[in-house]
Amino acid sequence: MSELHTIAFIVENKPGVLFNISNMFRKKNFNIHSISVGAIPNAEVVRITIVVQADARGVYQVVEQLDKMVDVVEVKRLDPMRIVRRELALVKLTTTDPMAREEALTCINDYHGLILNIDPDTLIAEVTGESDEIDAFLELVKPIGIIEFSRTGITALEKGRLRLERGEM
């Protein structure tokens, strides 16, 4: 059965590494659902979080192959019961109508969002949470008028003392 799996990597910080990793998923015919890449304190490496839809056996095989890649320092499939996942969305809403502006502010507040910019007829909000929370927020503000939005992709960390072993600090 195909389901979403979260995989975290520590990889060398050099050109072509992300291409090689995403190409591995392409070869296995897995669609990358979400990807986020960010620097960590050790500038020689970066952390990548990928969410992919696949069966457990296929993910296991990909993780094994990725672990053998020269540029991959560490790779791990994260246990969905032991992780905290978050995604960030920036949403620009039309607020020319004062009632729409008030409704937008209420929705943003209900989702513990932040107002980043207010202009006479638009506002930009930041909302973070699980992907389904972001989806629900977008559905809620759709009638107000979404002009544009951008999502970061999922990032995740394991709870407790669990962590990727090498390269993090």
Query: Residues 114, 119, 122, 108: what is their CA dihedral angle, to the nearest 10 degrees?
Result: 20
pLDDT for residue 39: 85
**Predicted confidence band at 29 (pLDDT cuts at 50, 70, 90)?**
confident
- So what's the pLDDT on residue 166? 57
pLDDT of residue 167: 47
- pLDDT, tens digit, for every residue of 118-165? 999 999 999 999 999 999 999 999 999 999 999 999 999 999 887 776
- pLDDT score of 42 more than 90: no
Are both 52 and 108 inside the same structural domain? no
The string of pLDDT tens digits covering residues 47-105 is 999 999 888 888 898 899 999 998 999 999 999 999 999 999 999 999 999 999 999 99
Task: Give, to the nearest 10 degrees, the angle between helix 17-27 and helix 56-67.
Answer: 140
Would residue 58 count as lying in a domain?
Answer: yes
Rounded to an integer, what distance in angstroms lies between the CA atom of residue 92 and that of residue 97?
Answer: 15
Cα distance between residue 150 and residue 4, in whole Å:
21
Q: 93-110: per-residue pLDDT in tens?
A: 999 999 999 999 999 999
Tell me whether residue 140 is in a domain: yes
If asked whether residues 145 and 98 sit together in one domain, one would say yes
Query: Domain residues for 29?
Result: 3-78
In a domain, 163, yes or no: no
Give the whole-angstrom CA distance, residue 169 versus residue 167: 6
- Number of independent structural domains in the chain: 2
Residue 19 has pLDDT above 70, yes or no: yes
Q: Would you call 82 helix, strand, or coil by DSSP?
A: helix
pLDDT at residue number 122: 95
- pLDDT for 169 equals 46
Pairing of strands 72-78, 3-12: antiparallel
Claim to verify: residue 105 and residue 147 sit in the same structural domain: yes
Same domain, 65 and 98: no
> Considering the domain boundaries, does residue 160 fall inside one?
no
